[in-house]
Amino acid sequence: MQINQTRLAERIQTLGAIGTDPQGGLTRLPFTKEEKEAKDLIKQYMQEANLHVTEDQVGNLFGTRQGQGTNRKTVLFGSHIDTVYNGGKYDGAAGVLTAIEVMQTLAENNATHDDDLTIVVFTDEEGARFSSGMLGSQALIGNWTEDMLQTTADKNGVTIAEAMQTYGYQAEKIDTVQLDGESLRCFLELHIEQGKVLEQEDTSVGYATGIVGIRWLNVTITGEADHAGTTPMNLRKDALTGASEIIQAIETKASTYPSLVATVGQLSVKPNGINIIPGEISFTLDTRDLDDVLLDQFVEEIHQTVETITEKRGLNAHIDQLNRAESIATSQHVNEALESSLKKNQLKVVSLPSGAGHDVMNMASLTDVGLIFIRTKDGISHHPNEFASDSDLADGAQVMLDTIIQLAEQKKEHD
Ligand SMILES: [Zn+2]
Instruction: Over range 174-191, report the average pLDDT.
Output: 97
What's the confidence (pLDDT) of residue 411?
55
- For ligand 1, the distance from its centroid to the CA atom of residue 312, given in whole angstroms, is 41
Distance from the alpha carbon of residue 315 to the mean position of ligand 1, in angstroms: 38
Q: What are phi and psi of 123, to 5 degrees?
A: -75, 140
Cα-to-centroid distance, 80 and ligand 1 (Å) = 6
Residue numbers belonging to the annotated binding site: 80, 91, 126, 191, 382
Percent of the chain whose predicted confidence (pLDDT) is above 90:
93
What integer pLDDT is reported at residue 50 of this predicted model?
Answer: 98
> Residue 413 above 70 pLDDT?
no
Q: What is the mean pLDDT of residues 150-176?
A: 96
CATH number of 5-212+327-414: 3.40.630.10
* Res. 159: pLDDT tops 60: yes
pLDDT tens digit string along 191-245?
999 999 999 999 999 999 999 999 999 999 999 999 999 999 999 999 999 999 9
CATH 3.30.70.360 fits 213-325, yes or no: yes
132 pLDDT tier (thresholds 50, 70, 90): confident
Q: Tell me which DSSP letter residue 246 carries.
A: H
Report DSSP letters for 381-398, one per residue. Answer: -SSTT----HHHHHHHHH
pLDDT, tens digit (0-9, with 9 covering 90-100), for 362-404:
999 999 999 999 999 999 999 999 999 999 999 999 999 999 9
Strand-pairing partners, residue 77, are: 119, 188
Residue 103 has pLDDT above 80, yes or no: yes
pLDDT beyond 60 at 120? yes
Ligand 1 centroid, distance to 278 Cα (angstroms): 36
Distance 291 CA to ligand 1 centre (A): 22
SS3 80: strand
Average pLDDT over residues 293-308: 98
pLDDT the model gives residue 102: 98
pLDDT at residue 415 in the model: 46
Domain with CATH 3.30.70.360 in the chain: 213-325
189 contacts 373 by C-beta, under 8 angstroms? no
Q: Are 386 and 90 in contact (CB under 8 A)?
A: yes
How many H-runs (helices) and E-runs (strands) does the chain carry? 13, 14
- Which residue intervals of the chain bear CATH 3.40.630.10? 5-212+327-414
Ligand 1 centre to CA of 86 (Å) is 14
Q: Answer whether residue 119 shows pLDDT above 50.
A: yes
Distances (CA, A) of 220 to 47, 56, 243, 265, 373: 48, 36, 9, 14, 37
> Residue 240 Cα, ligand 1 centroid: separation in angstroms?
33
Question: Per-residue DSSP letters for 259-301?
Answer: S-EEE---EEEES--TTB---EEEEEEEEEES-HHHHHHHHHH
Q: What is the pLDDT of residue 410?
A: 60
CA 197–ligand 1 middle distance (angstroms): 17
CA 97 – ligand 1 centroid, Å? 13
Alpha-carbon distance of 370 to 335, in angstroms, equals 6
| Residue 412 binned pLDDT confidence (cut-offs 50, 70, 90) | low
CA of 184 to the centre of ligand 1 (A): 22
Binding-site residues for Zn(2+), please?
Answer: 80, 91, 126, 191, 382
ipTM of the complex: 0.97
Residue 248 Cα to ligand 1 middle (Å): 30
What SS3 class is residue 145? coil
Banded pLDDT at 290 (limits 50, 70, 90): confident
Closest to 215 in 3D by CA, of 261, 283, 282 = 261
